[in-house]
Chains A and B, each alone.
Chain A
Amino acid sequence: MILEVRHVKKSFNGRAVLDDINFSVDAGECVGIVGRSGCGKSTLAKIIARLIDYDSGEIFIDGELQMIFQMPEDSFNPRKTLGWSIAEPMKNRDFKNIPARVSDLLLEVGLPADYAKKYPHEVSGGECQRAAIARAISVNPKILICDEATSALDVTIQAQIINLLKKLCREKKIACLFITHDLNLLPKIADRVIVLHGGKIVDENSTAEIFKNAKSPFTKELIEGGLFWKI
């Protein structure tokens, strides 16, 4: 087990956003977390990544955790080159031969090595997200949280990024928490799906089962694309 979340609760201004969340992720496993906008997915991601505090409960993480964000360009400092940003986590962990590693990582995510010299506003959203993946895997994480990592990209680029994530997680045995509001993305990547609604887990099953045998009306709503007519 690489991640275990036990009885985690969080409220903002007295309103419970996460109410007793329990789940775990095994090494190398990819778990999808799906739910409507505002159901607390990003809050859960940030709590697990220790970016915000939670009110009660326990979280165990075994090994390095990294994260990929929704807005690729905003997840890079506009004043630094992509190479500088990719190197940042390695510098903080005293890695050796960092420039060579940056080049290798760029090639690994399908970018030319000279992209290290580019600034975030000089590359496309998809390329920027590839660089974010390079930064995240640079320190050999055991678990990767992708919070709507493909939502800001158009459909073809979305598929490329999902395939890249899937390939890298398989090869490097990285567990993945793939957070999205679009349940239909999950068959491409997730082994298992957790459905969040109103701060609680309302459904949890293997990806194949969740489509065949939805236990919760909210899951059915997501399958039918209920999200779109709800907006």
Chain B
Amino acid sequence: MNKIFPQLISAGAIIFIAIFAQYLTPFDPYEQNLARALTPPDSINLLGTDRYGRDILSRVIIGSQTTILSALALLAVISIFGSLIGAVCGFKGGKLDTFLMRLSDVFLAFPQMVFAIAAAGALGGGLFNAALALALIGWTKYARISRSLTLTIRKMPYIDAAKLAGTSSFGILINHVLPNIAGPILVTAALDIGTIIMELAGLSFLGLGAMPPTAEWGAMMNNGRSMLQTASWVILAPGFAIFLTVAIFNLLGDALRDVLDVKNR
């Protein structure tokens, strides 16, 4: 447990900030103050202000809510939905399996980000549509992983033992298959948080995700793009926030992988 404690604390802190962002901002993140526009970091605006004089620290804090909570929600949906599909396919086999796996082949044939850009564009932008675009392609990875894990587990003697015990197919799926694929899926999901945050921010950066004036890290970076040389803090603050968050969740994923390995417990 000690191995994972620092990672859990840091990830927990970030999620805490995201949930209670409203109460943690020193200034109103949306209030404009043109007199102080593009002020470099000082004792009042710790991370400086943007071109409308809005406090960047407050916007980074409130932006964590948009970026992290939507990434986590998206991840929860695709990992649960994808794994269930994969487990049922792997366990039941047959036509359903063939159909869903060919469908996921089709999705996997596109580079993920290219597909997401196209889909988000076609859906008309906005944070929800950006998340939907990522979900459309994101579930396939979980379906694949959980299917192949299920195929291995299905051959284990304890599945035969459960059949002899008289447990139904549904009971076997719930009690024997899912608990044994949950660990690897959780690790995959934890390692995916960073990617999803980057992809959501990336779509916003491209103008296909969160719309102004919503404070979202990718959109904030886009705003600061033209001022990289004159007012670099505008782009560096959200950029560093993305970097830190992605790094922390990736470290958490690595630590989870070590801890959840049954044999190493």
Contact = CB atoms under 8 A, between A and B. Distances in A.
Where chain B touches its partner, the secondary structure class is helix
A79 B156 CA distance: 13
Contacts of A93: 166
A67 B164 contact: yes
A130 B265 CA distance: 23
A76 B161 contact: yes
A89 interface: yes
Given A121-B262, A121-B263, A77 B158 contact: yes
Interface in A43-84: 46, 49, 51, 65-67, 69-71, 74-80
B175 interface: yes
B167 interface: yes
B157 A74 contact: yes
Contacts, number: 56
B160 A89 contact: no
A92 B169 CA distance: 13
B262 A75 contact: no
Contacts of B175: 77, 80
B73 interface: no
Contacts of B176: 77
Interface residues of B, number: 18
Nearest to A92: B166
Which of A71, A79, A135 has the largest count of B CB atoms less than 10 A from its CB?
A79
A80 B175 CA distance: 9
B163 interface: yes
Given A67-B164, A85-B161, A93-B166, 14 more contacts: A69-B157, A71-B157, A74-B156, A75-B158, A75-B160, A75-B161, A77-B162, A77-B176, A77-B180, A79-B262, A85-B158, A88-B162, A121-B263, A135-B165
Interface of B: 156-158, 160-167, 175-176, 179-180, 262-263, 265
Interface string A75-107: 111111000010011001100000000000000
A15 B148 CA distance: 27
Contacts of B262: 78-79, 121
A79 B179 contact: yes
A19 B158 CA distance: 28
A65 B161 CA distance: 11
Interface string A10-34: 0000000000000000000000000
Contacts of A75: 157-158, 160-161
A85 B176 CA distance: 10
Contacts of A65: 164
21 contacts: A49-B160, A51-B163, A51-B164, A65-B164, A67-B160, A69-B157, A69-B160, A74-B157, A77-B158, A77-B175, A77-B179, A77-B180, A78-B262, A79-B262, A80-B175, A85-B158, A88-B162, A88-B165, A88-B167, A93-B166, A135-B165
